[in-house]
Chain A
Amino acid sequence: MLNLTKSYNERIVLNDISFSVHKGESLGILGSNGAGKTTLLETIEGLRVVEKGLVEVLGKDITKDYKTVQNMIGVQLQKSSLFGDLTVKQNIRLYANLYKNKTNVDALLDEFNLKKQKNNYVNNLSGGQFQRLNLCIAMINNPAILFLDEPTTGLDPNARLLLWNKILALKEKGTSIILTTHYMEEAQSLCDRVIIIHKGKFVANDSPENLIRGLNAPKFIVLKFNGKIPDNCFDNYDIHSIKDALYLKSDKPEKELVDIIKIIEQKQISIQNISIHESTLEDVYMSITKENYN
């Protein structure tokens, strides 16, 4: 994608955006609500007009060859977009029939654990089953690239984990994945690289590890006490207290943890829990987009 710019009612949503995704790579697009994640994804999918710039998918210009491209990609839209009055099998059959290169419907049902629900109406599926069906339909044509728009929004932790495993399995098979999400944990677990959109521009584009490293954020040893936080015990440390926990800033927390345990034993402090808090993608995201909220 080269220099993509898109606007709505004179408001620039995407401003001069360029990036590429390699074969087998998984890319996460992060950004606040209304940042333009879905617009970006749908422009690449050929659902929105490219006003300025060049979008190529699998070597084809999306503006000229969008139907050829759509034959080769798999898409899961953000909103529920399947026919609720039809059964799981009827929905899969419909989409399977529309593609030249399609997978076996029964094999897909099996792969996505939907065999038991095949005769259930889509309207009667649980959130997890519904998202699995969405993913299953997105995979119906053996796509080279898979686009997932907030695939696990609204799912319970078990259903989310199940879907993550499915996505990781597809990634292992060599499918390139571009996904948008609000869950930093999801991006960190599923993506080789993340892009953060802020005010229509890319403000970050790297692997989650590099982004966290680049943040140079301090690490903390977190102490949770039984009862009141004791005074003057950890005066040698840079401390912050939040609720009933004490955050001790530390450059080498694994090493300093031993000293802290010694202090606790000496002063006979009653401790509920000790942990090390390292920076996450969420810290990176918050640090980059904080300005927006301020």
Chain B
Amino acid sequence: MKNAYFIFKIFGNIFFKDKMNLFMIFFFNAFLMIIFGISVKDSYNMSVEIGIVDNINSERTNKAIAYLEEQPNVSLTLYSNELEVKEEVKLGKLIAGVVIDSIRSENKIGLSLVGDSSRIMWLEFLNPILKLSLVETDNIKEKIDVKFDLISSSNIRYFDYIFPGLLIFSIMQIGLSGGIMLLVHRKNENLKRLQITPLRKWEFLLGYSSCYLSIMIIQVLGYILIAYLLFGYVFIGNIFNVSLILVFASLFFVFLGIVLCNLSNTVENGNNFNRFFIFPASFLCGVFIPLTTLPIIIQKIALIHPLTYFVYIIRNISNYDTPLSEYYIDIGLLSGMFLIILLLSIFTFKWQQKTA
């Protein structure tokens, strides 16, 4: 274990000394993320489309709706039933829906706020305004019962759509670049030199993978911070589940990188293998473009790529708070792949470049 720690430390040191590597891996993706975020920032100034269903239709609620209409940047549409509003939110035509109902048994007004979970900020923005409007019109705030009704919409903010996938995509990039770095060290005979020390294979692999796992964690935390500070992104889902998937993806791609390194004899070979994974991932796996917009045959091909599953799971967990148990088939499939990758990375590991 002690030796694994030294390997962890040394490779971490080497990674952070390579400025070009740092730029390409950390800052380039962060830069991309900011560009994506800024390109959709204008939507903050657009009017907020809200649908309202007033099932009470009293003087009090009418006054409240009129008050809401007076708010700047708010565009109200009245609907006759709740289902209609939900459908419009689902289709992305409305940012949020408001259903005003009476709870006769408790003599309260029920306020149901319908919206996509990734746009919860709009619901939180509406909540005090609605309460205020009802209070101002009747001054009986204790009788308002607010309920959030989160649904999945096809028209969420683009940044919210790409961000969870981008995290996994970056993890994949670092994992695969870790494999290339290993190839470079093998070519330079650094690994051969380590081979003639008491260091064992498993200690080396443990140290190396932990080093890249830590780099990924630092990167992911950095991206989350940028996303939160610049674009107000928050995980709607269970943060433990999100972390679990991120760590699993990190381990998966670190060991995939090692396997690709083991299968390649030269750095050039390794780069070709990486291209095979990264190039299709950029358009095929649903990171930037929704998978459903692609032809059926392409969607089927995308299922070969592990990134597709990771992106699908992380997006749903992060943006819609779906429980992990819903993805047991995908997680099981990924776990099976991971087991094979892990075993391959150990049994095919080579300290030396094959000589003629």
19 additional A-B residue pairs with CB within 8 Å, beyond A47-B352, A71-B198, A86-B17: A8-B356, A47-B192, A47-B195, A67-B200, A70-B198, A73-B196, A77-B189, A80-B188, A81-B189, A81-B192, A83-B190, A85-B14, A86-B10, A86-B13, A86-B14, A94-B6, A98-B199, A99-B198, A100-B198
What residues of A have a CB within 8 angstroms of the CB of B14 in the complex? 83, 85-86
What residues of A have a CB within 8 angstroms of the CB of B193 in the complex? 75, 77, 81-82
What residues of A have a CB within 8 angstroms of the CB of B196 in the complex? 45-47, 70, 73, 75, 77
Instruction: Give the distance to chain B from A44, nearest Cβ to Cβ, in Å.
Output: 11
Binding site for A on B (CB under 8 A): 2-3, 6, 10, 13-14, 17-18, 185, 188-190, 192-200, 352, 356
What residues of A have a CB within 8 angstroms of the CB of B190 in the complex? 81-83
Contact with B along A40-58 (1 / 0, CB 8 A): 0000011100000000000
Provide 15 A-B residue pairs closer than 8 Å at the C-beta atoms, listed in order of the A residue.
A8-B356, A67-B198, A67-B200, A71-B198, A77-B192, A77-B193, A77-B196, A79-B189, A80-B188, A81-B192, A83-B14, A86-B10, A86-B13, A98-B194, A99-B197
| Residue of A with least CB distance to B196 | A75
The CA-CA distance from A100 to B2 in the complex, in Å, is: 11
What residues of A have a CB within 8 angstroms of the CB of B194 in the complex? 98
What residues of B have a CB within 8 angstroms of the CB of A81 in the complex? 188-190, 192-193
| Dominant secondary structure at the B interface | helix
Q: Are B197 and A70 in contact (CB under 8 A)?
A: yes
Is A226's CB within 8 Å of the partner chain B? Answer: no
The CA-CA distance from A82 to B193 in the complex, in Å, is: 7
The CA-CA distance from A86 to B13 in the complex, in Å, is: 8
Q: Are B17 and A85 in contact (CB under 8 A)?
A: yes
| Residue of B with least CB distance to A91 | B10
What residues of B have a CB within 8 angstroms of the CB of A67 in the complex? 198, 200
What residues of B have a CB within 8 angstroms of the CB of A202 in the complex? none
| Residue of A with least CB distance to B355 | A8
Instruction: Give the distance to chain B from A33, nearest Cβ to Cβ, in Å.
Output: 14
Instruction: Give the distance to chain A from B191, nearest Cβ to Cβ, in Å.
Output: 9
Instruction: Give the distance to chain B from A266, nearest Cβ to Cβ, in Å.
Output: 63
What residues of B have a CB within 8 angstroms of the CB of A100 in the complex? 198
Is A275's CB within 8 Å of the partner chain B? Answer: no
Instruction: Give the distance to chain A from B198, nearest Cβ to Cβ, in Å.
Output: 5
Is A84's CB within 8 Å of the partner chain B? Answer: yes
The CA-CA distance from A71 to B198 in the complex, in Å, is: 6
What residues of A have a CB within 8 angstroms of the CB of B195 in the complex? 47
Q: Are B10 and A84 in contact (CB under 8 A)?
A: no
Instruction: Give the distance to chain B from A9, nearest Cβ to Cβ, in Å.
Output: 8
| Residue of B with least CB distance to A38 | B355
| Residue of B with least CB distance to A98 | B197
What residues of B have a CB within 8 angstroms of the CB of A3 in the complex? none
| CB contact between A84 and one of B2, B188, B192, B197 (< 8 Å): that residue | B188
| CB contact between A80 and one of B6, B185, B189 (< 8 Å): that residue | B189
| CB contact between B3 and one of A70, A75, A77, A97 (< 8 Å): that residue | A97
| Residue of B with least CB distance to A75 | B196
Q: Are A98 and B198 in contact (CB under 8 A)?
A: yes
Is A90's CB within 8 Å of the partner chain B? Answer: yes
Is A112's CB within 8 Å of the partner chain B? Answer: no
The CA-CA distance from A47 to B188 in the complex, in Å, is: 16
Is A225's CB within 8 Å of the partner chain B? Answer: no
Instruction: Give the distance to chain B from A204, nearest Cβ to Cβ, in Å.
Output: 27
Q: Are B18 and A85 in contact (CB under 8 A)?
A: yes
What residues of B have a CB within 8 angstroms of the CB of A77 in the complex? 189, 192-193, 196
Contact with B along A139-167 (1 / 0, CB 8 A): 00000000000000000000000000000
What residues of A have a CB within 8 angstroms of the CB of B6 in the complex? 94, 97-98
Is A130's CB within 8 Å of the partner chain B? Answer: no
Instruction: Give the distance to chain A from B352, nearest Cβ to Cβ, in Å.
Output: 7
- Known: A47-B352, A85-B17. Is A98-B192 also a contact (CB below 8 A)? no
Instruction: Give the distance to chain B from A125, nearest Cβ to Cβ, in Å.
Output: 15
Q: Which of A8, A71, A86, A94 has the most CB of B within 10 A?
A: A94
What residues of A have a CB within 8 angstroms of the CB of B192 in the complex? 47, 77, 81
Q: Which of A47, A73, A97 has the most CB of B within 10 A?
A: A97
| Residue of A with least CB distance to B6 | A97
What residues of B have a CB within 8 angstroms of the CB of A45 in the complex? 196
Instruction: Give the distance to chain A from B197, nearest Cβ to Cβ, in Å.
Output: 4
Q: Are A95 and B197 in contact (CB under 8 A)?
A: yes
Q: Which of A71, A81, A84, A99 has the most CB of B within 10 A?
A: A81
The CA-CA distance from A157 to B18 in the complex, in Å, is: 35
What residues of A have a CB within 8 angstroms of the CB of B356 in the complex? 8
Q: Are B2 and A97 in contact (CB under 8 A)?
A: yes
What residues of B have a CB within 8 angstroms of the CB of A84 in the complex? 188
- Known: A81-B189, A83-B190, A97-B3. Is A90-B197 also a contact (CB below 8 A)? no
Q: Are A90 and B10 in contact (CB under 8 A)?
A: yes
Q: Are B3 and A98 in contact (CB under 8 A)?
A: yes
What residues of A have a CB within 8 angstroms of the CB of B199 in the complex? 98
Instruction: Give the distance to chain B from A129, nearest Cβ to Cβ, in Å.
Output: 17
What residues of A have a CB within 8 angstroms of the CB of B352 in the complex? 47
Instruction: Give the distance to chain A from B22, nearest Cβ to Cβ, in Å.
Output: 13
Q: Are B198 and A90 in contact (CB under 8 A)?
A: no
| Residue of A with least CB distance to B352 | A47
Q: Which of B13, B18, B194, B197 has the most CB of A within 10 A?
A: B197
* CB proximity to B under 8 Å, residues A191-240: none
* CB proximity to B under 8 Å, residues A87-132: 90, 94-95, 97-100
CB-based closest 6 A-B pairs:
A81-B193, A81-B189, A98-B197, A97-B6, A75-B196, A71-B198
- Known: A47-B352, A98-B3. Is A83-B10 also a contact (CB below 8 A)? yes
| Residue of B with least CB distance to A100 | B198
The CA-CA distance from A47 to B198 in the complex, in Å, is: 13
Q: Which of B18, B190, B193, B352 has the most CB of A within 10 A?
A: B193
Instruction: Give the distance to chain B from A290, nearest Cβ to Cβ, in Å.
Output: 27
Instruction: Give the distance to chain A from B8, nearest Cβ to Cβ, in Å.
Output: 11
| Residue of A with least CB distance to B16 | A85
